[in-house]
A and B are shown apart, each in its own frame.
Chain A
Amino acid sequence: MTVRTVRIVAALTLREAVRRRVVRSLAVLTAMLLSLSAWGFYRLDAEFGGFTSGEARVAGSTVLNLVMFGLSLIAALGTAFLAGPTLAGDIESGVALALLARPVRRSAVLLGKWLGLVAFGSGFVAIAGLAQLVIVRTTMGYWPPHPLRGLALLAVQATVLLTLGLLLSTAISPMASGIVAVGLFGATWIAGVVGGVGEALGNESVARVGTVARMLLPTDGLWRGAMNSFQDPALLAQVGSGVEESPFLSMAPLTATYLGWIVVWVAVVLGLAAIAFRRRDL
C-alpha cells in the first residue's frame, strides 16, 4: 500500500514538474546560460589564441567553475521553487484534501513527492551539466578530472535544498518557503566565503563561520566538493599554498565523514517534514 502510494505520488510529482511552467523557465534559463558560456569560451579561445595547453586548461577550469556555479544556482532555485508549491500549494489550494482522503499515509505522500523532486533535480543537473562540460570540451579542449563525481555532488546539493524546501513548505506558504530556502542557500555560500577569508587571514573564529554554515546547511560544502571535481589538479599545484580557499577554488575533495553527515542531514530534515506534515490540520 505504502510503496504503491510512494510510486504513484513520485510519478505525479515528476509529471507536475514537466507540465508546469517551472520547467519551461528552467529550460530557458539554462539555454541562456549554456549559449552565453559557449560564446564566452569561444571568444576566450579566439582572443587569446596563443594559449599554451597549460594556460588553456587553467583558464578553462576556472571559467567552468564559474559557469557551473550559475548552473547549480539555477538547479537550486528551480527545485526549491518547485518543492514549495508541490506541498504547501496543494494544501493551500485544496488539492491535498481529496488526495489525502484516499487510503494513503501522509509520510508516503511526502516521500513520493521528495523522490519525484530528487529525480527531477538530478535529471536536470545531469543533462544541463553534461551539456556544459561538452561545450567546454569543444571550445577549450578541457575535460575535468572527475565529471561524474562533480555532477553527482551538484545533484545532492539540489536534493539538500529541495528537502529543506519541503520541510519549510509544511509550515509556511509556498512562495515563502521557496524564498527562505534560496535565501539560506545564498547565506551559507556567503558564510563559506567569509570562512575562506578567515582561513586566509589565519583567524580561527572567522574560519569557523564557514565550517558551521557548511554543517547546518551542506549546500556550500557540496558546491566546494563539486568544484574540486571539476577543476584541473595542475591549477591547485600552481596556486599552491598562497590562497587556501576562494569561492571558486577548492583545495580538497569532500571527506567520507562529511558525505555521511549529509545523508544524516537529509534523513533528519525529511523526517521532521514528515512529522510536521502528519500533524498538520488541513
Chain B
Amino acid sequence: MAGLVWPGLRGSQAHSSPPAATAAPGARPGGAAIEAAERLIEGLPPAAAVWCSGLRKRYRRQVAVDDVSLTVDRGEVLGLLGPNGAGKTSVIKILLGLVRPDAGEVLLLGRPARDPDARARVGYLPELFRYQPWLTAAEVLSLHVRLAGATVPAEERRECLALVGLADRAGDRVGGFSKGMQQRLGLAVALVARPELVILDEPTSALDPIGRADVRDLLLSLKERGVAVLLNSHLIGEVERVCDRVVILDKGRVAASGTLQELLGRRKLRLRLDGVGPEAEARLAAVGGLTRSGDAFTVTLPAEQDPTTVPDLVAALVGLGVRVHAVEPARISLEERLLDILRTGSGEEHR
C-alpha cells in the first residue's frame, strides 16, 4: 500500500486516459530497470480514481449495461443520473467487483479492479444498506476498518459516527436502528477507513430533509479534502449543487456526459410570435429543438454559442412576415436537460 497517499497531500490533477500507475512497459526483471520504472511512475500524476471502459452486462435477455465508459478524476465529484433501470447501480456494482461484467475493464485508483486490493481505499454505501444487526454501530465500524486493512484510532472512529449524527448510538445494536439511522451508519462505514474514493448509491433515500442537507455538507467537505466521489442520486438538486461533472445513463448506455457548465451552458430562447407560417416554423426549428404552445415558442440554442444566432433568427422571422412580441433568453435547469435528453434520446456527448 506504499503507493497510496492520502489525497489531501497530492494535488488533484485531471487526466482521463488509461491511468499510468499500473504498467511500466519494457521493464524487464532487473533491479535497474525496475527502479527506473518506479521513478517513472512516481513522477506521474496520480491515476484517476475510477477509470472504466466498455463495460457490458446482460442479465439473461435484459441488457443492463451497454458499453459504458467513464472516468472520475481525483478529487472530483461525479454525479450519475438516469431513470430507474438505467443501469446506474449495475455500473457501480461492476466497479466494486460485486457484479462480474461480460466485457470491459475497470481501474480503481490506478489498479485493476480484479485485484481486491484495488478497493483498499474505496468507501461504499450500497443502495441496499444493511449491516450486521447483531453488532453495535461502533463494532460495525471497527469491523470495516479491519477488513480494509487500515488502522484508525478509536477516537477517529467515534468522530466518524459523530459526523453522521450517531455519536450517542455507538453502543447500540444495529438491529434496533431505523432505516434512516442505518443509512447514516452506512455513510460512516463508507468514510471510516480514510478512503480516496467514495461511491455513494442513493445516499439520501431514507433521510429526512435535515439528513439530506447533512449529506450535502458532507459531500462538499469530501470535495474540499480532495476525496473523489461517485454519486448516484435521484435528487437532481443535490447533484446540481455538489457535482463537478455528470454522466447521464439511459437504457444501460451513456446518454450524455460533461461538466455541469457543458450540459447546462445551453440556453433556450422563448419567443412570443404570431403570423408564423410553415416556412417561419422551419426557420425556428433549424436553430434547435422547437416546442410550441399557442403563440409561445421555445427554441433550444446550440451548445457552441454564436453571438449572431439570435439577431439572425429575429431578422429572418421579421423577413418572413412574423410579428415578434417578445424574445427572452432562459437558462436550462439540469432537470429540464435531463428530461430533454431522456425523452429525445439525443445521444450527443460532451467531453
Contacts and interface: CB of A to CB of B under 8 A. Distances in A.
Given A281-B98, A282-B93, A102 B144 contact: yes
A100 B147 CA distance: 9
A100 B96 CA distance: 9
A74 to B, nearest CB: 22
B117 A103 contact: yes
Interface string A78-102: 0000000000000001110111111
Contacts of B122: 101
Nearest to A19: B134
Interface in A1-29: 1, 4-5, 8, 12, 15-16, 19-20
Given A5-B147, A282-B99, A95 B130 contact: yes
Interface in B128-171: 128-132, 134-135, 143-144, 146-149
Contacts of B149: 1, 4, 103
A1 B117 contact: yes
Contacts of A95: 130-132
A102 B189 CA distance: 11
A260 B96 CA distance: 39
Contact of B100 (A4, A12, A98, A281): A281
A279 B59 CA distance: 14
A103 B119 contact: yes
Nearest to B122: A101
Given A103-B148, A103-B149, A282-B99, A98 B124 contact: yes
A95 B182 CA distance: 11
Contacts of A19: 134
A4 B151 CA distance: 14
Nearest to A5: B147
B156 to A, nearest CB: 18
The contact size tier of chain A is 20 to 34
B82 interface: no
B181 to A, nearest CB: 15
B203 interface: no
Interface in B29-56: none
B186 interface: yes
A101 B98 contact: yes
A93 B130 contact: yes
A20 B93 CA distance: 29
B97 interface: yes
B290 interface: no
A279 B132 CA distance: 23
A28 to B, nearest CB: 19
Interface string A116-157: 000000000000000000000000000000000000000000
A104 interface: yes
B284 interface: no
Contacts of A12: 132, 143
Of A15, A20, A97, A282, most buried by chain B (CB within 10 Å of CB) is A97
Interface of A is mostly: helix
B126 interface: yes
A15 B124 contact: no
A105 B119 CA distance: 11
B209 interface: no
B342 to A, nearest CB: 26
A5 B287 CA distance: 60
A2 B82 CA distance: 37
B120 interface: yes
B294 interface: no
A94 B118 contact: no
A53 B178 CA distance: 64
B303 to A, nearest CB: 37
Nearest to A105: B116
Given A19-B134, A281-B99, A281-B100, A98 B189 contact: yes
Interface string A246-282: 0000000000000000000000000000000001011
From A1, A12, A102, residue with most partner B Cβ within 10 Å? A102
Contacts of B100: 279, 281
A143 B4 CA distance: 62
Nearest to A8: B146
B94 to A, nearest CB: 9
Nearest to B143: A12
A153 B97 CA distance: 39
A20 B173 CA distance: 12
B144 A20 contact: no
A20 B98 contact: no
Nearest to A9: B147
Interface string B73-112: 0000000000000000000010011111000000000000
B131 A102 contact: no
A102 B148 contact: yes
A101 B132 contact: no
Contacts of A16: 132, 134
Contacts of B119: 101-103
A8 B143 contact: yes
Contacts of B129: 94, 98
Nearest to A18: B134
A19 B128 CA distance: 23
Contacts of B98: 97, 100-101, 281-282
A82 to B, nearest CB: 13
Contacts of B124: 97-98, 101
A261 to B, nearest CB: 33
Contacts of B128: 94, 97
10 contacts: A1-B149, A4-B149, A8-B146, A8-B147, A93-B130, A95-B130, A97-B93, A100-B98, A101-B124, A281-B93
Q: Identify the 5 closest CB pairs spanning chains A and B, nearest first.
A: A94-B128, A97-B126, A19-B134, A94-B130, A102-B147
